[in-house]
Structure 1
C-alpha cells in the first residue's frame, strides 16, 4: 500500500473540504459576505490541494498534476473575473474547478490500486472519522458564516421598513 505521509493527509483533508463545501457555494442563491468568506476558504483549500499534489508522486508526474496546474490557472482567472465584475466568467471557472476536483476524486476513489480504496479496506474507521470531522468542520463554518449573528438581527429589526 502507498504510504500515508503528512502531505497525503493534508491533501486529503483539504480535498474533502473542497468537495463538501463546493455544492453549498454553487447552489446557494445569495451572493453576500458569507459567499465571499466561504469562497475565500474554498479557494485557499483548493490552493492547498493543488500545491500538495506535487508532493505526491509515487510514479512521477501524472495527468492529475496537469489538472492541478490547470486548476490553479482557473482559480486565478475566477478571482480576477469577479474583481472585474464578470460574474458569469467567475461562476464558470469556479464550477469548472469544482468539477475537475470531482473528476480527480472519482479517479482516486474508483481505481482499486489508489490509496482511497486501499484505506477503505484496511482502515475504514480512520476514513470514516476523517470524513465526519471534515464534514462537521464545513457544517460549523458554514452555519456560523451564513447565519446572521445577534448584532445583524438587532440591526435588521431596528431598521425602518420601506
Structure 2
C-alpha cells in the first residue's frame, strides 16, 4: 500500500468526517431534526468507511475488516433502536461505533508503516490542508443544517394531545 488510490482517498475523507463530526453529535444536547439530518450524513460517512475498507486489503482480511463488519451491525441496531424509541440503545451503539472508529484511526495513525504516518512525514501540508478542508465542509454542513432545521420535529399524530374539539 504505497499510494493513495481513489478508494483509500474516499475512505480517508469519510473517516475524517466521521471522526470530526462524532463529538458534535454526541455532545449536542438537543435531539431535534438537525441532529437527525446531521446523523444521516454521519451514518452515510461511516457506511462509506466500512464498505470501502473491504477494497483496502494490503495484507488480506484483518481485524480492521472485522471491526467494519461489527460497525455495520451496530449501525443497523442503532437505527432500529431509535425507530423503536429506545434512545439508550441508539446512543450506546452510536457512541460505541464512534469509539471503534477512534480505535481504527489510532492504529492507522500510530503504526509507522501505515499511510497516515507516511503522509505526515513526506507531505504534512497535504495532510493538514485535507483535514482543514473536511473540517470546513463539516462546519458548513453543521451550521446550515442546524440553522435551517433547528426546531424540534412535529410529534407524530398518536403522541399529540387531543384538541379542544375532541378530534
Pairwise same-fold verdict (TM > 0.5):
yes
**Distance (whole Å) between structure 2 residues aligned to residue 56 and residue 125 of structure 1:** 24
Shift of 1:148: 4.8
RMSD, aligned α-carbons: 1.2
Unpaired runs of 5+ residues, structure 2, are 152-167
**Counterparts of residues 1-162 of structure 1 (less than 5 Å):** 2-148=2-148
Residue segments in structure 1 that go unaligned for 5+ positions in a row: 153-162
Distance of 2:31 and 2:77 partners within structure 1 = 19
Q: Distance in 1 between matches of 2:37 and 2:148?
A: 14
Cα distance in 1 for residues equivalent to 2:57 and 2:111: 16
Runs of 4+ in 1 over 4 A off after TM superposition: none
Partners of 2:21 and 2:142 in 1: how far apart? 8
In the TM superposition, what whole-angstrom CA distance separates every residue of 1:5-47 from its partner, at most 9, and x where no partner exists?
A: 0000000000000000000000000000000000010000000
CA drift of 1:2 comes to 2.0
Offset at residue 147 of structure 1 (A): 2.1
Once residues 148 and 108 of structure 2 are traced to their aligned partners in structure 1, the CA distance between those partners, rounded to angstroms, is 38
Q: Deviations over 1:102-141 (max 9, x none)?
A: 0000000011111100000111111111101000000111
Cα displacement (A) at 1:50: 0.1
Distance 1:148 1:77 in 2: 29
Residue-by-residue CA offset, 1:45-93 (whole Å, 9 max, x unaligned): 0000000000101111100000000000000000000000000000000
1:159 is aligned to none
Q: TM-score, normalised by structure 2?
A: 0.87
**Count of residues paired in the alignment:** 150
